[in-house]
Amino acid sequence: MVITGSWREKPLTISVKPNCLTVSVEDPQDADVFSYDYAGRLWTALFEGVSYRRGLDGKMVAKWRTPGNERERRWLPPEEAAQVEARARQTAAQIWIAIQAGNARLAIPLPEAGMTVFERVIAFDAALSRADAARYHQVYKPVGILPPDQYMAVVLQATEGCSFNSCNFCSFYKDRPFRIKRHDEFRAHALAVRDFLGAGLSLRRTIFLGDANALVAPMPLLLPLMDVVHAVYDVERLGGIYAFLDGFSGERKTVADYQALAARGLKRVYIGMESGNAALLDFLKKPSKPAEVIRAVQAMKAGGVAVGVIVLLGAGGHLYAGEHVQDTIKAINAMALGMDDIVYFSELFVGEETAYSQAAYQARLQPLSPQERIAQGEAIEDGLRFSIEGGTPHISRYDIREFIY
């Protein structure tokens, strides 16, 4: 329900959706827009031309466009994030007081749900925000990364860490040993996450089984874990289950396995293929061969599970660039991807301390510039061919620096 009105001589719009409350004070030059989940947490904010997004861990990223239309971002220090939250809360409080006092005119009355969220937003003060972020850290091991279309998922850490942890460009789970959670432990985790999200669960769209390689769990362990998800959450309403799978040299899942997982709501698996070039994968210390990735994708699709294939732009610098483009095109074209699938182009961003940087130094690699990385993605995309019957997968950028949960 969208309610228009005015407040302090400015147009006011209050949107009460089943999953969030959005308040917009529209000064034509400078709109202030704040969205909150049903637990009262700030979700997004926009003012003075900068948009903000608060993660469940309390961290906040600011994004804006430069005069040259370049995208910029900055992670706010805690005190700045608190100021943004305070501004959002105070705006909601002032509007709520004005509505009650008859000093804000609304075309129709605010529904009950809207009143409840206003009260929760106002109650979600700095202390509650800090406590909420602290609770996140009790419920979760920090969520390292998600595919961009899964940032609004309910993450459930069925496993922790990565079963390979070998890739020289990846530092997401270096200090987190891989383990599969016990059934009772995972059930307690799933319940704790539900409790933590509270009414904010309505803002979440899917279930994401974390961490990096949940699907590596053998089927006799994995199926009961998926049953736990169903016991605690309405998977159908949330839009199904999603997960990463990386590295295919260990136990391989069959078409029948994927059928069984699809029957339990698995919708899409995200695979960090990185490249279709075997030599580059060796250089990256990636625990899979292109042929294994292609076979795994074919098994998933035959089992009724869609895929998201992630390609690492700039990997291997100029030394590998030609083969990276050609072999990645070949590999993706061999996967028979369709309209339910996604191809993500993710630029390589590595710190100097990573094993990749050391290997690149020893190999005297010349890195690709940002423009060359983009051009590499375009060259790969130009070579992709999809069937008319299957349709074209969604092709998108994946900037890991923007990840927020």
Which residues sit at the interface with ligand SF4, rule CB under 6 A? Answer: 162, 164-167, 170, 172-173, 212, 246-247, 272
Tokens 């990565």 map to which residue? 162
What stretches of 314-401 adopt beta strand conformation (E)?
A: 342-347, 394-398
* Nearer to ligand SF4 (CB atom), residue 272 or residue 393: 272
Strands 154-157 and 207-210: parallel
What stretches of 181-287 adopt beta strand conformation (E)?
A: 207-210, 241-245, 266-274
Nearby residues of 328 by Cβ (< 8 Å), 6 or more positions away: 273, 275, 276, 277, 311, 380
Burial class (CB in 10 A: 0-12, 13-18, 19+), 196: middle
- Which SS3 state, helix, strand or coil, does residue 38 take? coil
Q: How far apart are CA 378 and CA 381, in angstroms?
A: 5
Query: Minimum distance between the CB of residue 191 and ligand SF4, rounded to whole angstroms?
Result: 26
- Which SS3 state, helix, strand or coil, does residue 289 take? coil
* Nearer to ligand SF4 (CB atom), residue 36 or residue 164: 164
Q: How far apart are CA 13 and CA 22, in angstroms?
A: 8
Query: Minimum distance between the CB of residue 250 and ligand SF4, rounded to whole angstroms?
Result: 11
Handedness of CA 247, 140, 188, 20 (dihedral sign): negative
Q: How far apart are CA 26 and CA 280, in angstroms?
A: 51
Query: Minimum distance between the CB of residue 169 and ligand SF4, rounded to whole angstroms?
Result: 7
Tokens 């061969």 map to which residue? 289
* Nearer to ligand SF4 (CB atom), residue 197 or residue 296: 296
Q: How far apart are CA 162 and CA 256, in angstroms?
A: 24
**Residue 198 DSSP symbol:** G
Q: How far apart are CA 195 and CA 201, in angstroms?
A: 9
Strands 179-180 and 266-274: unpaired
* Nearer to ligand SF4 (CB atom), residue 232 or residue 271: 271
